[in-house]
Amino acid sequence: MVKSLDIKLLARLGTLGQLEIFLQVAKEGSIARAAEVLNLTQPSVSIQVKKLSEVFGLPLYEVVGKKLKLTEAGRKVEEAGKEIFEVVGRLDDELNDLKGLRSGTLSISVVTTSKYFLPHIMAPFCELYPGVEVELNIGNRSTIIDRLNKNLDDLYIFSELPDSLDIVAYPFLPNPIAVIASKNHVLADKKKLKWKDIEHARFIMRETGSGSLFGVQNFLKENNYKMNDVITIQSNEAIKHAVMANMGISIISAYTLSNAGSDGIVQLNVEGFPLLSQWEMVHLKNKKLSTVAQMFLDFMLNNGRDLLPMKKIERNVQSAIDGHWGV
Q: What is the CATH number of the domain that holds 39?
A: 1.10.10.10
Domain count, the chain: 3
Instruction: Identify whether residues 13 and 61 lie together within a single domain.
Output: yes
Statement to judge: residues 142 and 48 lie in one domain: no
Q: Kindly state whether residues 169 and 287 are assigned to the same domain.
A: yes
Assigned domain for 57 exists: yes
Closest Cα to residue 280, out of 244, 247, 314, 304? 304
Tell me, what's the pLDDT at 326? Answer: 44
* pLDDT values of the chain reduced to their tens digit, one per residue, 327 residues: 444 444 455 545 556 788 888 999 998 888 988 888 888 898 888 888 888 888 888 888 888 877 888 999 889 988 888 888 888 777 776 776 655 556 678 999 998 888 878 888 999 999 888 888 899 999 888 889 999 988 899 999 988 888 878 999 999 888 888 899 999 999 988 888 899 999 999 999 988 877 778 888 888 999 999 988 999 988 888 898 999 999 999 998 877 775 544 478 888 888 888 888 888 999 999 888 888 888 899 999 988 878 876 666 666 666 666 665 443
136: domain CATH number?
A: 3.40.190.10
User: In this predicted structure, what is the pLDDT of residue 97?
Assistant: 63
CB distance 170 to 281 below 8 Å: yes
Name the pairing type of β-strands 202-205 and 229-232: parallel
CB-based contacts of 181: which residues, under 8 Å, 6+ apart? 187, 188, 243, 249, 250, 265, 266, 268
pLDDT at 2: 40
Check whether residue 228 and residue 196 sit in a common domain. Answer: yes
Omega of the bond leading into 274 within 30 degrees of 0 (cis): yes
119, 300 Cβ separation under 8 angstroms = no
Contacting residues for 251 by C-beta, under 8 A, at least 6 apart: 177, 178, 179, 180, 203, 205, 212, 216, 273
Asked if residue 226 belongs to a domain, the reply is yes
| Same domain, yes or no: 101 and 165 | yes
Residue 327 lies in a domain: no
- Domain span at residue 168 reads 84-173+278-314
Domain end (from 46, 81, 116): 81
Q: Check residue 120 and give its pLDDT.
A: 86
SS3 at position 232: strand
Instruction: Please tell me whether residues 45 and 94 are part of one structural domain.
Output: no
Quote the CA–CA distance of 226 and 205 in Å, as a whole number.
13
Q: Do residues 135 and 77 share a domain?
A: no
Instruction: Please check whether residues 71 and 147 belong to one and the same domain.
Output: no
Q: What is the pLDDT of residue 316?
A: 63
159 with 303, same domain? Answer: yes
pLDDT score at 5: 42
19 in a domain, yes or no? Answer: yes
* Residues 295 and 129: beta-carbon distance below 8 Å: yes
CB-based contact 279:308 (threshold 8 Å):
no
Asked if the structure places residue 199 within a domain, the reply is yes
